Amino acid sequence: MADIPAAGTVPEMRRDEELTTADGRPLRVALRRSQRQLRRRAFYLVAPLLVFLLVTFGWPIANMIAGSVYNPEVAHFLPLTSSAISDWDGEDVPGEDVFAAMAMDMESGLANRTIGRAAGRINREIPGARSLVMGTARDLEDMQPPYREAFLAEDERWGDLEFWRLIKRETRIVTPAYYLLALDFEYNSRGEIVERPEIYQVYRQLFWRTAWMSLTITALCVLLGYPVAHLLATLPLKTSNVLMILVLLPFWTSLLVRTSAWIVLLQQQGVINDLLVWANIIDASGRIRMIYNQTGTIIAMTHILLPFMILPLYSVMKTIPPSYMRAARSLGATQFTAFTKVYMPLTIPGVAAGVLLVFILAIGYYITPALVGGESGIFISNLIAQNMQGTSAQLKLASALATILLVGVLFFYWLFNKLIGVDRLKFG
């Protein structure tokens, strides 16, 4: 126990008696002041990055999350209707006051071109409502009060209780409706949350598929990357450098080019099928479909993400001295035992870093599944992208889906931290 200082070498200190500097200031204060200066300088150094991150990262994400619940269309663009309908009991077609308010909202909405946004919002849940509202709004100048009768004469759908209940429900500024949709739920006409009909259910399935395919890809990356990284770490420098370039080469090639190369290789009239036919392993009519499905996505993405597994693994393996394996062998372990009991546990920080990188990258992948995934191999991000190009309601749905994905990734990160400890990871 020579490491522990002998008792008495540390001067004893009484808590209540504060130490002071030479000029009489409390030592604690002086220390804090000198450190504050250092901290401030450090802050100035990172400030540009911080601002950059806030502008390019924090702000858009906050915007996205806000957009996924923001629901101003009914309240803002049908203001009179919104207040008139608040007293409605929802049991019978609303009275003239609501219809008259609707007519006035339409009039002003036509003038300042906001009626379409309200109509679009309602249409999101009642298809056809858009043309109903727009059509009636255009015909409004030919109508006379009482509007209840006039509207019902124009189109009987104005007597639809579901329509009015929706308006009443969606007068709120913040709505969970898009999150419900994103999880394949919806409001029924009574305002209860129910599962959507099966023919419309897609998002949960896609989330689930994205997760398990990403896991499969991650597992394949570990299986393929581990031996390569081991080779890289143990080969003589000259050989390993050549191998390292081969590993890095994909990094320097455009993602699109790599994905297209896989199409050329894997398609039914592609190189691999041609070879198999030529070698008489399959006949020409039995060409294997390896692309435009899950297989294609898994193959192409495993290839593309492999370097992200190999590099952290390599950097960890490089630091494991060969003497550990030798020690294990000299202690009586077979090559296999030495590998599994000594070498592999030591590579866990690298495996974990690789898994974290590959899985998180995979779960948000977009281009490759879009090009080679066909219909069964696409990811949730493909639907997010598709919805982003659509109507504003679809954009909000995309925001909700993206937020759920983000939360999912954060959850995975948290879980990972719990299980492995992120501070133990070695990224390279």
- Which one of residues 78, 103, 106, 134 is an interface residue with other proteins (CB under 8 A)? 134
Q: Which of residues 102-121 bind other proteins (CB under 8 A)?
A: 112-114, 116-117, 119-120
Q: How far is the CB of 229 from other proteins (least distance, A)?
A: 18
Q: How far is the CB of 115 from other proteins (least distance, A)?
A: 9
**Per CB under 8 A, 130 contacts other proteins:** yes
Task: Report the sign of the C-alpha dihedral through residues 358, 362, 366, 368, in that order.
Answer: positive
Phi and psi angles of residue 206, each rounded to the nearest 5 degrees, phi first: -70, -40
**Per CB under 8 A, 345 contacts other proteins:** yes
Q: What binding mask, one character per residue, do residues 145-174 give for other proteins by CB under 8 A, x or -?
A: ------------------------------
**Per CB under 8 A, 144 contacts other proteins:** no
The owner of tokens 């849940």 is 125
194, β-bridge pairs: 186
**Per CB under 8 A, 286 contacts other proteins:** no
Nearer Cβ to other proteins (2/49):
2
Q: How far is the CB of 66 from other proteins (least distance, A)?
A: 12
**Per CB under 8 A, 123 contacts other proteins:** yes
**Per CB under 8 A, 391 contacts other proteins:** yes
Q: Which of residues 239-278 bind other proteins (CB under 8 A)?
A: 267-269
- Which one of residues 278, 324, 411, 414 is an interface residue with other proteins (CB under 8 A)? 324
Q: Which residues bind other proteins (CB under 8 A)?
A: 2-3, 112-114, 116-117, 119-120, 123-124, 127-131, 134, 198-202, 205-206, 209, 267-269, 292, 321, 323-324, 326-335, 337-338, 341-342, 345-346, 348, 370-371, 374-376, 378, 383, 386, 388-395
